Structure 1
Amino acid sequence: MQQENLQPFYQLTPDTVIDAVESMGYLSDGRILALNSYENRVYQVGIEESEPLIAKFYRPLRWSDEQILEEHQFCFELVEQELPVVAPLTNSAGESLFHFKDYRFSLFKRRGGRAPELDDPDHLYQLGQTLGRIHLVGAVRPFVHRPALDIQTYGRDSVALISEGFIPSSLREAYTSLCADLLDGIEACFAAAGEVKLIRAHGDCHGGNILWRDDTPNFVDFDDARMAPAIQDLWMLLTGDDRVQQQLQLAEVIAGYSEFADFDPRELHLVEALRTLRMMHYSAWLARRWEDPAFPHNFTWFNTERYWGEHILQLREQLGALQQPPLKLL
């Protein structure tokens, strides 16, 4: 990434945020609150005599306009089916991606709520129901411009980046050898699953992207939406290290999911493979963003010898998890 292209993004000021929102015909009351987002810049902006809006400014060079608009279109399709999804607002011309100076941004209604209780069987069942309905829509057509979740981009590319420029030399051999074994294990899991169907999926379906409100799970932030197996949106609902507990959680999720969509049990072979890929990708994501001043400021623990030592230990645990039998449908 070229620094000159990203510098305005790093220096996004409150005045620019307010000016961008007001360029869309809103009148701000001057109140602005930066929200917890690092990949993009997200703000709550107060509006005169109305509810605040959420303004999301997209990181340059990450997604093309076509890829962003595909995400928006997916959200619109979900809302049309009366699903509890926070979709971007549109102007009178039906546009949802706006430009102001050097920035691309979208606006959203503010949606409050609390995190789901992933140890509550009723919450898990309802989350399964809602994801079943989301995946029915996601299976109607593929993304054309957005990528698929695959071993190359999440796994091999991540390992190459870390090995070449971030892992301390004292740990490099242990890291590269371990990751070679992990990638072999991941490939074996994908081979065991066979040719599973890829659908348009949320892609980052953790508890922080689900707001429980009025006894309903509201799904937000489809920024990582991509083609993926259905299990990608389900496995992150399973918590804890106890397989018996995860088995019971899975049973609730799939029971709700199956009311609206068919679940292919072969995808259970992918749970630990996808978890491992997410761990690899997360470290590489931090590395790729390290020139953004927000990252060294907020992730002070990253890229230290201690961090990489702990990361290797976590990956070793994952190697054992990859060799375990997959969870089963009860």
Structure 2
Amino acid sequence: MSDFTFEGLTPALILDAIESLDIYVSSGLLALNSYENRVYQFVTEDHGRMVVKFYRPNRWSTAQILEEHEFSLELHALGLPIVAPLKFNGESLHTFCGYRFALFLSMGGREFEVDNLEQLEGMGSLIGQIHAKSAKKSFTHRLGISVAEFLHDPAHALKHSELVPFHLHLPFFTILEQVCTLAESKYTAAVANITQIRLHGDCHPSNILWRDGPIFVDLDDCRTGPAIQDLWMMLAGDINQQQIQLETLINAYKKFTPFNPSELALIEPLRAMRMVHYMAWLSKRWEDPAFPRAFPWFGEDKYWENQILSLKEQFSALQQPSIHLPSF
């Protein structure tokens, strides 16, 4: 299947794919907020409310998706609040007309509040429990966090993108190169002696539901990396606020598994890597009609001017001492 943009994924095909598993939809299809894949909620008479997820072609291999499923099912079996794929005829991943898809029970919840210390404590506990289990085994097929994927390849893609306004090339690519060089140096030095484990990989607030505690709806971006990757994205505000948030997270985390304070030096390099990767991700996905509709500002001068400012601020942050916690 080479339909990278999902143009062939019609409502009729979606329904036929679901029905191929003897699941019969008794409602309409509600598109959920997912850009990388296509995700729809629906209702059945026999199984209640469900979700179907169609994986973007040419992104993950089948082996990588199955390893994600195995990880989800492993954590779900421990009683952790992970929404794992459902199995039909012993299989969690299915194919219909070339599209790979999976079914899940639908889970509702409130938006996670990054400034809520009680919720942050709950997240620290959950991630600590996940890491206590995930550290005991390694991925075989899933990728790791690397400067190649998160810095070099994105920078190359941006340099060859027509979406960066030509008159901003000099200031944008000058600061981009400076950030990439310093982030790579800082990341490589800090990660050399740090144990890498299986991670959720993308713990930003919009990937977390809250219902009497945190819930992860899937592990689509799970990969190998340092533990701090699953903690730093929940930090927000100024440095004092982030210190309080981080201390709350890690104190709860340490109840279930040790935390290496050397990983604190990875926060700003990882933040820089995410910034660069995100810009390139939008650029690479631009041929998918869903992206210009959802991100119309991406090609505007103002967006790139703001990115220049953000990169300059991140370059400054990379030059500062890493965040320090009094408890360490």
TM-score using structure 1 length: 0.94
Q: In the alignment, which residue of structure 2 is the partner of 1:140?
A: 136
Q: How many residues align?
A: 324
Amino acid at match of 1:176: F
Tell me, what secondary structure is at the counterpart of 1:318? Answer: helix
- The correspondence for 2:206, drawn from 205, 208, 219, is 208
Does structure 2 retain, via aligned residues, the 8 Å contact 1:143–1:200? yes
Task: Tell whether 2:271 aligns with 1:283.
Answer: no
- Cα distance per residue 1:227-267 (max 9 Å; x no partner): 11110110011111x11111011110000000001111111
Amino acid at match of 1:260: F
Does structure 2 retain, via aligned residues, the 8 Å contact 1:18–1:45? no
- Cα distance per residue 1:20-76 (max 9 Å; x no partner): 111111111142101111110000022125412100000000001000001000101
- Cα distance per residue 1:78-115 (max 9 Å; x no partner): 012111100000013x2100011121100000010012
* Aligned equivalents of 1:9, 1:194: Cα separation in 2: 40
Q: In the alignment, which residue of structure 2 is the partner of 1:196?
A: 194
Q: In the alignment, which residue of structure 2 is the partner of 1:245?
A: 241
- Cα distance per residue 1:280-301 (max 9 Å; x no partner): 1111001111111111111111
Structure 2 residue runs without a partner (length 5+): none
Task: Tell whether 2:37 aligns with 1:47.
Answer: no
Per the TM alignment, residue 304 of structure 1 is displaced from its structure 2 partner at its CA by 2.1
Per the TM alignment, residue 225 of structure 1 is displaced from its structure 2 partner at its CA by 0.7
Amino acid at match of 1:34: A
Q: Which runs of 4+ in 1 moved over 4 A?
A: none
* Aligned equivalents of 1:140, 1:123: Cα separation in 2: 27
* Aligned equivalents of 1:292, 1:260: Cα separation in 2: 42
Does structure 1 retain, via aligned residues, the 8 Å contact 2:128–2:256? yes
Q: In the alignment, which residue of structure 2 is the partner of 1:165?
A: 161
Structure 1 residue runs without a partner (length 5+): none
Does structure 2 retain, via aligned residues, the 8 Å contact 1:8–1:102? no
Does structure 2 retain, via aligned residues, the 8 Å contact 1:18–1:30? no
Amino acid at match of 1:201: L
Instruction: Summarize the alignment of residues 48-197 of structure 1 with structure 2, pairs less than 5 Å apart.
Output: 48-92=45-89, 94-166=90-162, 167-190=164-187, 191-197=189-195
Q: In the alignment, which residue of structure 2 is the partner of 1:262?
A: 258
Amino acid at match of 1:89: L
Q: In the alignment, which residue of structure 2 is the partner of 1:223?
A: 220
Amino acid at match of 1:209: N
- The correspondence for 2:300, drawn from 301, 304, 314, is 304
* Aligned equivalents of 1:279, 1:123: Cα separation in 2: 25
- Cα distance per residue 1:138-193 (max 9 Å; x no partner): 21111111111111111111111101223222222222221221122213322145
* Aligned equivalents of 2:156, 2:4: Cα separation in 1: 26
TM-score using structure 2 length: 0.95
* Aligned equivalents of 2:46, 2:5: Cα separation in 1: 31
Task: Tell whether 2:38 aligns with 1:13.
Answer: no
* Aligned equivalents of 2:308, 2:232: Cα separation in 1: 22
* Aligned equivalents of 2:125, 2:68: Cα separation in 1: 22
Does structure 2 retain, via aligned residues, the 8 Å contact 1:84–1:219? yes
Amino acid at match of 2:49: P
Cα gap change, 1:9 to 1:158, in 2 (>3 Å): same
* Aligned equivalents of 1:188, 1:291: Cα separation in 2: 33
* Aligned equivalents of 2:195, 2:172: Cα separation in 1: 32
Tell me, what secondary structure is at the counterpart of 1:291? Answer: coil
